[in-house]
Amino acid sequence: MNRPIYKAESAAGDSQAAAAGSEHTTQTSGQRPHERKRNSATAGEGSTRSRTPTSKRRLADDRAPWRVQMQVTGTVLLVFVAVAIVALFYLNVSAKTAALGRLIQFYTVRLDGPHRVNAEDPEGTIIPIEEIDIRIAGLRAELAELTSLERMEARAQAMGFEPLGTESIIFLEVPGYQPRGAISLAPPPAAQVASASSILPIYRPSLIDELGQGWSGLVDKIMALVIQSEEVQP
């Protein structure tokens, strides 16, 4: 029997009360005695039937303090989640940057000192540029040893070749022939180009660039899917 009354009162009352659980009412008759007493004391006799929304909210908050707690908790959680999302994204980017930075460092020099003889993997998987240069120089020298004149002559003689005499040479005139000049190991001197970073802009993306790339990639995928679906349709 009470339920229809509350419903009716709730329907007639403000929506805030209804949202609070339908157990509050703005009707004087529905008020609890101590509330009425307090209302009388604050608003006077003539204001018992016309309360402001602020007072109503306060009243509701007083009656259900967990509402405030929920609101505060929700707000804090919302802020926390927002911050967490931003932090997550920042952490992701900074972790990638750190990992690549470390990789660059290892590719540059051995920051952790010389190789250990008793290490399980003494060579490691990353060889810094400095050591690669040494290896290249060593390989170049090794190639030169393998193709030294002494070895090449020995091989040629083993294959039946012998030094050529003047009488064995047949000279032919080749129009436009340019005799072999000195070896060129590097380009000739040229105008100096202003010093610029050797790292291309593509390897220096900003956060906005990354977002833009992500967005572009997403759009491309969607467009590809759309095109694919259109092609599938008869």
The smaller minimum CB distance to another protein, of residues 159 and 185, is found at: 185
Q: Which residue, 11 or 141, has its beta carbon nearer to another protein?
A: 141
Give the DSSP letter string of 184-223.
-SSPPP-PPPPP--SS-GGGS--HHHHHHHHHHHHHHHHH
CB of 218 to another protein, least distance (A): 28
As given in the structure block, the two tokens for residue 196 are 């610029």
What tokens appear for 233 in the block? Answer: 């349709």
- Using alpha carbons, select from 67, 86, 63 the residue that is nearest to residue 75: 67
Residue 46: CB minimum distance to another protein, A: 24
The Cα–Cα gap between 64 and 136 comes to: 78
Closest distance of CB 162 from another protein, Å:
12
CA distance 174 to 191: 36
For 110, residues 6+ apart whose C-beta sits below 8 A from its C-beta are 128, 130, 131
Smallest gap from Cβ 177 to another protein, in A, equals 10
Could you give the CA distance from residue 171 to residue 19 in angstroms, rounded to a whole number?
109
Binding footprint of another protein on the chain (CB under 8 A): 1-2, 5, 32-34, 63, 65, 94, 97-102, 104-105, 107-111, 113-118, 120, 122, 129-131, 133-135, 137-138, 140-145, 147-150, 164-166, 169, 171, 173, 179-180, 182-190, 197-199
Nearer to another protein, 200 or 232 (CB): 200
Cβ proximity to another protein: between 159 and 164 the closer is 164
Closer residue to another protein (CB): 158 or 182: 182
Q: Which residues contact 109 (CB under 8 A, 6 or more apart)?
A: 128, 130
Cβ 170 to another protein shortest distance, Å? 9
Smallest gap from residue 73 Cβ to another protein (A): 13
Instruction: Count other Cβ atoms within 10 Å, centred on residue 68.
Output: 13
Q: How many residues does the chain have?
A: 234
| Shortest separation between residue 74's beta carbon and another protein, angstroms | 18
Residue 176 vs 188, nearer CB to another protein: 188
User: Between residues 71 and 216, which has the closer beta carbon with respect to another protein?
Assistant: 71
Number of C-beta neighbours around residue 229 at 10 A: 9
